Every structure is written in C-alpha cells, then in structure tokens.
C-alpha cells in the first residue's frame, strides 16, 4: 500500500498547503481518494506529484466538514467515474457555535444535491472493494465531545455533534489494520478500539489522519499518548488538526512510531 498526501496544512516548495486534508491511496491495484481538502489545491498538487485524479476509482469523505469536503466539486469535474462514499448521517448542517457566535463549517451548500448521482451513502460496516472497508462510530456518548469542541448539528433544533457523519477507512492487511480517520474527533485511541472491535481478532498496525488536538492542553495530549501507547499500534502518521505543538508532544511520548504529515509525503505501508 502506498499513500500520498495531496493536501495538508504543511507544504514545502512548489506544493500548496491549506487547512484541510486529502490523501491518495493505491492498494492492491485500486486507486482511492480520501477527502478533497478545502479547495482545488489537491488537484494542483496532484498534477505536480504526477497523480491522475481521473483514474481514482473510489472517493471517500471522512466527515461533513468544509476542510475535507469543499474540494468535492473539483474532484467531480476531473473524475467522471468514481463512486463517492459519504456516511449516511452526512448533511449540510455542521456548525461551530460559541455563545452567540455561530459559524458554518459544513459541506458547501448545494453540493449534495448537485452531485447526488455520484454519491453513495454508506451504512454500517461496508466493504467497498476487497479488503477495504468503511466503518461508523460504535461508541456511545460522542455528543459530549462535540459539545466540548463547540460543534453542533442544526436540524429543526440544535444538537451537539455526535459525529454520526464521520467514518473510518480501514484496510485489512497482512500486517494488521491500517486505519485512516481524518480528524479522529472521538480520540485516536477510540478509533483504534472501534476498528479492532469491527474486525474481531485483528490488531491495528497503523493510524493515519488528524487527531484534533490543536485546541487541547499539553496534559490532554500526553494523556492521549498514554492511551494510544496501551493499544500497541506501531505507526502513527498525523497532521492537519493535530497541530504542530501536539505533534511534537506525541513524538516525545511515543518516539519513532509518530510521523508528521505534510503535503507531498509518501507512505509505504
């Protein structure tokens, strides 16, 4: 398996960075795109890196936030064949809400209707091709995390976000489970546990994605590192919403198993 970061906060040289994430994955001859960043920058970076977006067979949206979804229209312009998988709970209704300040952070309005013929809504544990699965959260009480992060869903009334629109992309490999979860809102340790529960008897080998730690205290980051250590996972590639400070703390706590993502990074797994 080879994974190439097409968009992340960090970028060097001629590649373009942004607050967002997009990862291109090649696995057993299949070509998969996870997320589309916040703009068309992933397309421009793909051209620089000689990645052909037209050849992607499966598109995946990790969750319904703009920094992962707002490049969708550019993906559909370039690629005319791939199915694009969203979790069934996805809508255009995610907000950041603090007291009297409200900011929309969801999928660009009108996107789901405009591209409804290209979108497939995943339910439960779903295999999209041999050895490649999408799994939802199985942990109760995630609305408490949404409330702590000031994240809300607006339907007829406001609800603290329980991340029912979020999913993990999991590869069942010979080394173990390789898990992509772009923001790990429930906690990277929770993401690992959920994947191992979904694949009874399998152990997590690697986790790739943001860990949503940019607003967390040093003590909270170190506590998470301790919980991750107990899982025994061997490789952690993290960036985007983890934040550089938290990445450095994770490196201190977990050593060489932690690697920081950046635009253009290639991972051989």
Residue whose C-alpha is closest to residue 170's, from 7, 60, 54, 262: 60
CA dist 36 and 47 (Å) reads 14
Count other Cβ atoms within 10 Å, centred on residue 194. Answer: 21
Judge residue 16's burial from the number of C-beta atoms within 10 Å of its C-beta, 0-12 exposed, 13-18 middle, 19 or more buried.
middle
The whole-number average pLDDT for the span 142-159 is 96
Q: List, in sequence order, every beta strand (DSSP E) within 146-252.
A: 151-154, 158-160, 167-173, 176-180, 204-208, 235-238
Reported as a single tens digit per residue, the pLDDT across 33-66 is: 999 999 999 999 999 999 999 999 999 999 999 9
Looking at per-residue pLDDT, the higher value among 156 and 193 belongs to 193
Rg (CA), the chain: 17
Per cent of the chain over pLDDT 90 is 98
CA dist 231 and 156 (Å) reads 40
Mean pLDDT of the chain: 97
The whole-number average pLDDT for the span 6-34 is 97
Check whether 205 has a pLDDT greater than 90: yes
Q: Which helix (H) or strand (E) covers residue 67, if one does?
A: helix 66-69
Classify the C-alpha dihedral 25-26-28-29 as positive or negative: positive
Check whether 12 has a pLDDT greater than 90: no
**Alpha carbon distances (Å) from 176 to 50, 228, 269:** 29, 16, 10
Reported as a single tens digit per residue, the pLDDT across 72-125 is: 999 999 999 999 999 998 999 999 999 889 999 999 999 999 999 999 999 999
Check whether 129 has a pLDDT greater than 90: yes
pTM for the model stands at: 0.97
């Amino acid at each position: 398996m080879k994974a190439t970061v097409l968009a992340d906060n960090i970028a060097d040289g001629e590649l373009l960075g942004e607050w967002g994430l997009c990862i291109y994955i090649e696995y057993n001859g299949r070509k998969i795109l996870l997320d589309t960043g916040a703009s068309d920058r992933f397309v421009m970076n793909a051209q620089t890196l000689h990645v052909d977006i037209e050849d992607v067979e499966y598109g995946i949206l990790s969750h319904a936030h703009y920094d992962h979804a707002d490049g969708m229209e550019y993906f559909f312009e370039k690629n005319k064949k791939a199915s694009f998988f969203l979790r069934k709970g996805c809508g255009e209704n995610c907000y950041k809400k603090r007291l009297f300040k409200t900011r929309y952070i969801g999928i660009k309005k009108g996107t789901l209707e405009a591209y409804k013929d290209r979108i497939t809504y995943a339910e439960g544990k779903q295999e999209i091709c041999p050895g490649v699965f999408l799994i939802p959260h199985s942990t109760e009480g995630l609305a408490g995390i949404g409330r702590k992060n000031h994240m809300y869903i607006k339907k007829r009334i406001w609800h603290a976000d329980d991340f029912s629109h979020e999913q993990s992309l999991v590869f069942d490999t010979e080394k173990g489970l390789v898990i992509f979860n772009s923001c790990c809102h429930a906690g990277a340790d929770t993401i690992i546990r959920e994947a191992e529960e979904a694949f009874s008897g399998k152990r997590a080998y690697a986790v790739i994605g943001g860990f949503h730690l940019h607003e967390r205290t040093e003590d909270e980051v170190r506590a998470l590192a301790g919980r991750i250590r107990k899982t025994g996972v061997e490789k952690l590639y993290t960036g985007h919403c983890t934040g550089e400070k938290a990445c450095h703390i994770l490196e201190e706590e977990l050593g060489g198993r932690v690697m920081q993502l950046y635009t253009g990074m290639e991972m051989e797994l």
